[in-house]
A = this chain, B = another copy of it.
Amino acid sequence: MVQNADGQPVRIGVVGLGTIGSGVVRLLVDSADHIGRAAGRPIEVAAAVVRDAHKPRDLPLPAARISTDIRTVSRDPTITLAALLVGGLEPARSMMVELLEQGKDVVTANKALLAEHGPELFDLARRLGRSIAFEAAVAGGIPIVAAIGECLAANRIESIRGILNGTSNFILTRMEEDGSTYAEALAQAQARGYAEADPSMDVDGTDATQKLAILTHLAFGAWVPWKEIPRTGIDTVDIDLIRYAGELGYRIRLVALARRADGRLALRVAPALVRAGTPLAETRGAYNAVSIVGDAVGRMFFHGLGAGQMPTASAVVADIIDTVVGRAAITFRTTGVLSADTPTARLAGVDAMERHFLRILVTDRPGVLARITGILGDHGISIASVIQHDPIDAGGSAAGGRPGVPLVIMTHQARSSAVRAALDAIDASDVVHGRSACLGVLDE
């Protein structure tokens, strides 16, 4: 905790002046009056650390305060708090250790670092009497970390459903609204600064999975190595799937799920069908959303910008204020999760009982439909609807002229293990082209 001292400015360090770091510096300067009131004293960026000190920056920060040496922050005894705003694992991890060991409280937005090294870093901070605040690491501007850790503290959390990756959601929304192909939508996301030059962590579901691992710690008090969470990205979704789902009154969203299941936790990140008009389905563009069910509060829903410079900076600065006034230290001390002592979650299998949406590309000849539905029936899967679409013309399709006729099937409730087994048999048949698509349907 930074001590209150007669309105003297709090001197903080900002490590990383990329998109988020620049936003934080700007917000601290542009809203200095407002933020100073909330913190009880002015907040001053005393030092910033970057990779390239010579890069031109249009920031309200004297060049003399910018260096490439973490020690300008960590070894300055007048700096008590550091915002660690670099991504990835290294050098972020070493920097966090150096900052904590030198007695700094840390605020960070780095979800990969926490999902990978959270327990040991949080333990280190506790041993050293320091705090780590990380509201910005999950769902950008949505205060979901505070909501779960503090506001819903009286609740046993039953389940979480979230749209946690703004880039993926932007791409899916563009495909759905404009009929853009996946590649076109991704290029738009990159042009608008939502997606990195290498967007693989966003579109393969890694980013959402790391965030889900952090939320799972907070909500269920259990530690999950993020790589153990079953994960499918949106790179498996094409424009035809979005269209066929739309015809049935559904949208496709990348949904992160966590729920209690017989003393275990069922977790997954995957594209799923959500009914148009429901809150998750109406979450568009770079917005994020989280729906939480608590035993006392019932269903709570949060919606806000999950990506972008200023929404994330808003969350980082809220954490800086919380740290300055001393709330972060209390929260960090009392919220006992994310330590190495936290039990590892016992994961339930991924065998969800739900409706499934299938797209199977078949050779258009008599008897094919009977054969496919026969295989499904053999696996105990009953069918709610089948639509045989016209053959895809090469121009309109994302995949550009996939062979075969698309058969779109909505099943009744079925075990996903049974559906997968049936699809394996179906895909092995000589009337099916390529691998069939299978998405879960999240009815409310």
B residues in contact with A321, CB < 8 Å:
150, 153-154
Do A277 and B277 have beta carbons less than 8 Å apart?
Answer: yes
A196-227 CB mask vs B (1 if < 8 Å, else 0) is 00000000000000000000000000000000
Do A314 and B146 have beta carbons less than 8 Å apart?
Answer: no
List residues of A whose CB falls within 8 A of some B CB: 23, 27, 31, 34-35, 37-40, 135, 141-143, 146-147, 150-156, 277, 279, 282, 294-305, 308, 310-311, 313-315, 317-318, 321-322, 325-327, 330-331, 333-336
B residues in contact with A313, CB < 8 Å:
154, 296
B residues in contact with A300, CB < 8 Å:
141-142, 302-304
What are 12 inter-chain pairs, A to B, with CB distance below 8 A? A31-B154, A135-B151, A143-B146, A143-B147, A143-B152, A150-B327, A155-B314, A279-B282, A296-B311, A296-B317, A297-B305, A325-B331
Point out the residue from B39, B303, B322 that lies within 8 Å of A279, measured CB to CB.
B303
Q: Which residue of B lies closest to A305 (CB)?
A: B298
Question: Complex formed: what's the CA distance from A301 to B315 in Å?
Answer: 15
How near does chain B come to A275, taking the closest CB pair, in angstroms? 12
B residues in contact with A318, CB < 8 Å:
150-154
Question: Complex formed: what's the CA distance from A15 to B333 in Å?
Answer: 30
Given contacts A282-B277, A298-B304, A303-B301, contact A35 B154 (CB under 8 A): yes
B residues in contact with A297, CB < 8 Å:
141, 304-305, 310-311, 314-315
Do A299 and B304 have beta carbons less than 8 Å apart?
Answer: yes
Question: Complex formed: what's the CA distance from A297 to B314 in Å?
Answer: 6
B residues in contact with A31, CB < 8 Å:
154-156, 295-296
Q: With A38-B334, A330-B330 given, can you name 20 additional A-B contacts, CB distance below 8 Å?
A: A31-B154, A31-B155, A34-B155, A35-B153, A37-B336, A135-B151, A141-B296, A141-B297, A141-B300, A153-B318, A154-B313, A154-B314, A154-B321, A277-B282, A296-B314, A297-B304, A300-B302, A301-B301, A302-B302, A303-B303
Given contacts A141-B298, A334-B39, contact A154 B27 (CB under 8 A): yes
Question: Complex formed: what's the CA distance from A327 to B1 in Å?
Answer: 12
Question: Complex formed: what's the CA distance from A411 to B19 in Å?
Answer: 44
B residues in contact with A135, CB < 8 Å:
151
B residues in contact with A327, CB < 8 Å:
150, 327, 330-331
Question: Complex formed: what's the CA distance from A294 to B151 in Å?
Answer: 20
How near does chain B come to A309, taking the closest CB pair, in angstroms? 9
How near does chain B come to A353, taking the closest CB pair, in angstroms? 27
B residues in contact with A325, CB < 8 Å:
330-331, 334
B residues in contact with A146, CB < 8 Å:
143, 146, 150-151
Q: Which residue of B lies closest to A145 (CB)?
A: B151
B residues in contact with A296, CB < 8 Å:
23, 27, 31, 141, 310-311, 313-314, 317
How near does chain B come to A352, taking the closest CB pair, in angstroms? 25
B residues in contact with A142, CB < 8 Å:
300
B residues in contact with A333, CB < 8 Å:
40
How near does chain B come to A337, taking the closest CB pair, in angstroms? 10
Q: Which residue of B lies closest to A155 (CB)?
A: B314
Leading 10 A-B pairs by shortest Cβ distance? A143-B151, A154-B317, A296-B314, A141-B297, A301-B303, A297-B314, A300-B304, A38-B153, A296-B310, A298-B305
How near does chain B come to A205, taking the closest CB pair, in angstroms? 25
Listed residue (A141, A153, A310) with the most chain B CB atoms within 10 angstroms of its CB: A153
Question: Complex formed: what's the CA distance from A277 to B277 in Å?
Answer: 6
Question: Complex formed: what's the CA distance from A302 to B139 in Å?
Answer: 14
How near does chain B come to A280, taking the closest CB pair, in angstroms? 12
How near does chain B come to A327, taking the closest CB pair, in angstroms? 5
